[in-house]
Structure 1
Amino acid sequence: MDIGSHRPEIASRSSSDRKLSLAASSTVHTYHCLCTNLLVATSTPLPALPTRKNSLDKAHIMPLPPPPSSIPIRGDQHKSMDHYGLMLSTTQDRQAEMIRSDEGFEKRYLQRCGRCGLVVGYQLDWQQFDGENKTGKREDVVFLLPGGFVTTSEMVMGKTPSSTAIGIVGVTEVQA
């Protein structure tokens, strides 16, 4: 999947004007919340995904698969996907949050860990994209916040993201 040509509104949010290809592989990369709950399975490692450069959060942009079609696709009509990513064990806020961004305001639907409630990502509203006559939440992409995920191997080894990541606060640092 070539994000630069299929989703120009997303590509324009990255720092580069060149086309970005996702580095997909046959390996499934899994990521867990800081509480160890499995949240993301993707064929593209998070560091290889494009990021929002014009946003303070520097979120990873992960395309989501389209909903299953009711019409089966046969033989040569089947399109191979270079990237496949799924959100697992997450809950989504029913009401959108208005967030102030560099370009004004954003209407975000927050994705939370299903176990601990940590905000790990969000989806944007269609109204924020020029030329689109759709309403409601975008279902084709999710923005994953850095610092809220560890790989399965890091989790097994007991590692956590660096304390300099956005939003990471140790339990000893919380003031009553």
Structure 2
Amino acid sequence: MGSSVTSKLRAVLFDRDGTLVIDVPYNGDPDLVRPMPGAKAVLDALRSEGIATGVLSNQSGIARGMITAEDVASVNARVDELLGPFDVWEVCPHSDQDGCECRKPAPGMVHSACRKLGIAESEAALIGDIGADVRAAEAAGATGVLVPTPVTRAEEVAGARLVARNLADAVVLLREAP
């Protein structure tokens, strides 16, 4: 672990569903929140080193009327209780059709999180389970790491520059990344 790499990385941002917590589609129930194996240990290790953590989550169920913003807030509060505290939260409530700047793979949430943290995008990484997470990171000038799940498409894995088996391996990759 060279200190030059560690000092460059000032924040690790995470996708929520399928990355930090087990994906429950359009979840509005905090009682269904279950952390991914190893997530808490990875987050605690980053925080102990003074690296900021954040969550960036597309929540199109709000735009589709399947869940409310309050539902998402209560689920996020439960994630924070189990895995937090996170330094920054970003939620995109829009659907694909809205053409917003925040919905991943657009870079808006990465830019916003970095602004709130007072860091350059090049000092941040985004870890997620689908190609949109990695593309959002790269579009913003951050480093993207893909941690595939069984639902991650093969072409997304093939298209990602950095791919890890789990969150702990993703952080190791970030330390080794040029």
TM-score higher than 0.5: no
- Highest CA radius of gyration, 1 or 2? 1
TM-score (norm 1): 0.27
TM-score (norm 2): 0.27
Q: Which has the higher strand share?
A: 1
Say which structure, 1 or 2, has more relative contact order (CA 8 Å, 6+ apart). 2
